[in-house]
Amino acid sequence: GKTHWIRQFVTGMPDDVEIDIFDHHGDIEIEGAKSVMFSEATRYGYNPLVLNTDQHYGGVRRAVNDVIEAINSTARQLGGNQEGVLRHLLTD
pLDDT for 79 equals: 93
Residues 71 and 89 in one domain: yes
Residue 11, Cα to own-chain centre: how many angstroms? 21
Instruction: Decide: 71 and 78 in contact? Cβ < 8 Å.
Output: yes
- Single-letter amino acid code for the residue at 89: L
Q: Is the per-residue pLDDT at 2 higher than 90?
A: no
Section 73-86 average pLDDT: 91
pLDDT for 72 equals: 92
Instruction: Mark which of 45, 60, 79 sits at the end of a domain.
Output: 45
Containing domain of residue 67, as a range?
47-92
Residues 28 and 61 in one domain: no
User: Of 90, 45, 53, which is closest to residue 69 (Cα–Cα)?
Assistant: 90
Q: How far apart are CA 86 and CA 83, in angstroms?
A: 5
Residues 12-55 have pLDDT tens digits of 999 898 888 888 788 888 888 888 887 778 888 777 777 777 87
Q: Which residue has the higher pLDDT, 90 or 51?
A: 90
Residues 36 and 61 in one domain: no
pLDDT for 15 equals: 87
Residues 60 and 91 in one domain: yes
Residues 53 and 65 in one domain: yes
Q: How far apart are CA 50 and CA 31, in angstroms?
A: 30
Residues 86 and 51 in one domain: yes
Q: How far apart are CA 67 and CA 90, in angstroms?
A: 9
Q: Which residue has the higher pLDDT, 82 or 39?
A: 82
Residues 59-75 have pLDDT tens digits of 888 889 988 998 999 87
When divided into structural domains, the chain yields a total of 2
Residues 65 and 92 in one domain: yes
